[in-house]
Amino acid sequence: MASFSIHGVGVSSGIAIGRAHLVSNALLEVVHYQLTPNLIDEEIERFDQAIQSVKHDLEVIRVQLPKNAPAELDAFIGTHLAMLNDKSLSEAPKELIRNEQCNAEWAVKQQMDNIVEQFDAIEDEYLRERKHDVVQVVERIIKVLLGHPSQTPNQSKEIQQQENATILVAHDISPADAIQFKQHQYAAFITDVGGITSHTAILARSLNIPSIVALQKARDLISDGEMIIVDGSLGVVIVNPSKEILAEYELKQDQWQLEQQKLQLIKSTKAVTIDGIAIELFANIEVPEDVISVKAAGATGIGLYRTEFLFMNRREMPDEEEQYLAYKHVAEALNGLPVTIRTLDLGADKQMNPDTVSNCANPALGLRAVRFCLSEPHIFHTQFRALLRASHYGNIKILIPMLSTLSELRQSKLLLERAKLSLRKENLPFDEQITVGGMIEVPAAAINAEAFAKELDFLSIGTNDLIQYTLAIDRTDDAVAHLYNPLHPSVLKLIDMTIRAANKFNKSVSVCGEMAGDIKLTRLLIGMGMRQLSMHPSNILSVKQQILHSQMSTLNKQAKKILNVKDLEKIEPLVSQFNAATV
């Protein structure tokens, strides 16, 4: 077939070469692989066991329902049990396993797609929407299958090797789905839609795999199993590359991997400029397991722990004990290094339940983050208690997101004090001196930064939302992605105002948005006076290298010059010169 290329927005650099795997949003974990004939019966038995396991789980849930539980819950479980007994789910996938000699996960996924297609053709809206029940039941089956693969070690290794050469191709991937990538080792992923600072893109960078969004029609143009090249640095996907192009990119891939290996040499080196100014490099994490990559990158702490990912991919909120154990695990793993934990930031493109559909016309401006928590004080109270209890085991700091008024801050601090009081009454230990910071990510907070700095222990600039709100650009919308620019003079002015406010009251300030991990902006940020940068672990060493080759006295002069420029088109070449110069 002829070779062709598709251009999009690169959100995570690097080069990946592999086979395309078209995925549905609901079942990202499923990989297709062939079985030898002698394993077919064993695979069918594994599928039957998974069906029985899901039935058992649902029956246990039904038995344990409280007496006062709504009748709809029992009916909901009954519907799912009925679907498991239907031959379209309990028998049809076994025929696919036999006929196609494929793994059970793939077979049940294919059957789900067939059933959903039939539901889509139904005119009655209520019946049509029952397809979501089918998807939920199949997800339960696949989770059991993935948790109990019933494969020999060699076969499991073979599956892992297939993942390493697999490039996921999707129309869109929600943050809830993307978080599942952390359990796998896919080569790359590409999507039709998305923006450079959407939460899905942020997660892609945390995985340190090449990723491209906003490709428009990639899922329609690319066939399952086709050889493709993903150049995350240039934002280009090459489909069916020629031998010459493939050889060229294999060389580029080797060079890129060599550069990554060289960066490991500075892992234990402190981030200090040529003239002795120390910069603290913190890590951003989504789940407790990320502490492994935090340590591997040599971070000096965690500057942003996004706790909302503990709440996602589930129907019910995690209770206090589950939250406490997650926060405690991270605090203990960092062994005294600072761990800044952001309170729940649900809303916009991050919903707790994947099936939840927001009725808000503009969710980015709706009931999210601190607004949501203040409207549900019991949720805030539970999280505060969990955070406080965990603070006894490490250096935990609390960060409140999306503050826009001092009233929101004071209400939050009042709820925190109530949580402290409740723990004292129960004689449960916690850090009485725990510090509280605020996210400066709404222009109103940046303009009023001095007032916030006066009442907070520290400030953290969330540049992703700050840019979005300042420039009135939806950061998840690829149609306006070209307008999203961190170098806009208004954005730089708001960052500068926040840094000055923090310095005035002798409070620490950091950048925890994607600007912190962009090496093109490192010199500008520290030249503006930033001394703390928090980013995904995969970016720490490249940012550190930039710092080690910089001289602060020169950076300060250049940053002041850039801050005085009012025209965006003039700022960009100045920053390019800034980075090209040997300082």
* 373-396 residue pLDDT tens: 999 999 999 999 999 999 999 999
Whole-model pTM? 0.72
Confidence band, pLDDT 50/70/90 cuts, at residue 28? low
Confidence band, pLDDT 50/70/90 cuts, at residue 528? very high
The more confidently predicted of residues 71 and 247 is: 247
Predicted pLDDT at 99: 93
Looking at every residue in the chain, the average pLDDT score rounds to 86
pLDDT over 70 at 200, yes or no: no
Buried b / exposed e along 149-173 (16+ C-beta atoms within 10 A): ebbeeebeeebeebbeebbbbbbeb
Confidence band, pLDDT 50/70/90 cuts, at residue 22? confident
CA dist 340 and 559 (Å) reads 28
Strand 458-461, strand 436-440: pairing: parallel
Buried b / exposed e along 448-479 (16+ C-beta atoms within 10 A): bbeebbeebebbbbbbbbbbbbbbebbbbbbe
The residues of the chain that CATH labels 3.20.20.60 are 267-580
Q: Please, are residues 524 and 248 in contact by the beta-carbon 8 Å criterion?
A: no
Q: Please, are residues 513 and 466 in contact by the beta-carbon 8 Å criterion?
A: yes
The residues of the chain that CATH labels 1.10.274.10 are 29-151
Q: Please provide residue 301's backbone torsions phi and psi, each rounded to the nearest 5 degrees.
A: 150, 180
Q: Which fold has domain 1-24+173-262?
A: Glucose Oxidase; domain 1 (3.50.30)
CA dist 252 and 255 (Å) reads 5
Catalytic site positions: 199, 512
> Which tens digit of pLDDT belongs to each residue from 478-515?
678 778 899 999 999 999 999 999 999 999 999 998 89
CATH class of 267-580: alpha beta
How large a percentage of the chain has pLDDT more than 90?
Answer: 57
> Which tens digit of pLDDT belongs to each residue from 432-452?
999 999 999 999 999 999 999
Determine whether domain 29-151 maps to CATH 1.10.274.10: yes
Predicted pLDDT at 506: 98
Going by C-alpha positions, the residue among 384, 440, 391, 375 that lies closest to residue 414 is: 384
> Which tens digit of pLDDT belongs to each residue from 342-371?
999 986 555 555 444 445 667 678 888 999
- What's the mean pLDDT in 99-126? 82
CA dist 391 and 213 (Å) reads 38
Confidence band, pLDDT 50/70/90 cuts, at residue 455? very high
pLDDT over 70 at 176, yes or no: no
Alpha-helical regions (H) of 165-235: 175-178, 199-207, 218-221
Confidence band, pLDDT 50/70/90 cuts, at residue 252? very high
Confidence band, pLDDT 50/70/90 cuts, at residue 152? very low
**Ranges 149-153, 194-198, 221-225, 453-457: which has the least confidence:** 149-153
CA dist 33 and 225 (Å) reads 11
pLDDT over 70 at 17, yes or no: yes
**Ranges 58-62, 175-179, 543-547: which has the least confidence:** 175-179
The token pair at 427 is 């004689």
pLDDT over 80 at 561, yes or no: yes
**Ranges 19-28, 119-128, 548-557: which has the least confidence:** 119-128
| DSSP assigned state of 582 | -
Predicted pLDDT at 483: 84
Confidence band, pLDDT 50/70/90 cuts, at residue 69? low
